[in-house]
Amino acid sequence: MTKEKVLVGLSGGVDSSVSALLLKEQGYDVHGLFMKNWDDDNGSPYCSIKEDFMDAAFVADQIDIPLVQISFSQEYKERVFSYFLSELEAGRTPNPDILCNKEIKFKEFYNYARSNDYHYMATGHYARTDNVSLFKGKDNSKDQSYFLHAIDKEVLEHTLFPLGELKKDKVRAIARENNLITSEKKDSTGICFIGERPFPEFVANYLGGEEGEIVDDNDSVIGTHKGLVFYTLGQRQGLGIGGVKDAPDLPWYVACKDLESNKLICVQGNENPLLFSSELETKNTFLIEDSLPKSFDGTAKVRYRQKDQECHVELSKGSMKLFFKEPQRSVTPGQSVVIYKDEKCLGGGEIKSIN
Q: Which of 47, 192, 311, 345 does the annotation list as catalytic?
A: 192
> Strand ranges (DSSP E) for the chain?
5-9, 29-36, 67-71, 120-122, 127-129, 134-136, 159-160, 212-215, 221-225, 252-258, 263-268, 276-287, 295-301, 309-316, 319-329, 336-341, 344-354
Q: What angle in degrees, to the nearest 10, is found between the helix axes of 168-177 and 14-25?
A: 70
Alpha-carbon dihedral sign for residues 20, 27, 164, 84: positive
- Could you tell me the CA-to-CA distances from 117 to 24, 120, 270, 294 in Å, in that order? 18, 9, 53, 39
Q: Are 252 and 235 in contact (CB under 8 A)?
A: no
Query: Is residue 201 exposed (0-12), middle (13-18) or buried (19+ Cβ within 10 Å)?
Result: exposed
Is beta strand 344-354 parallel, antiparallel or unpaired with respect to 336-341? antiparallel
Count of beta carbons in the 10 Å neighbourhood of residue 189:
8
Asked whether 266 and 253 are in contact (CB, 8 A), the reply is yes
192 annotated active-site = yes
Catalytic residue, candidates 100, 266, 311, 345: 100
Q: Are 87 and 207 in contact (CB under 8 A)?
A: no
Give the list of residues 6+ apart from residue 294 with CB closer than 8 angstroms, or none: 314, 315, 316
Residues annotated as catalytic are 100, 192
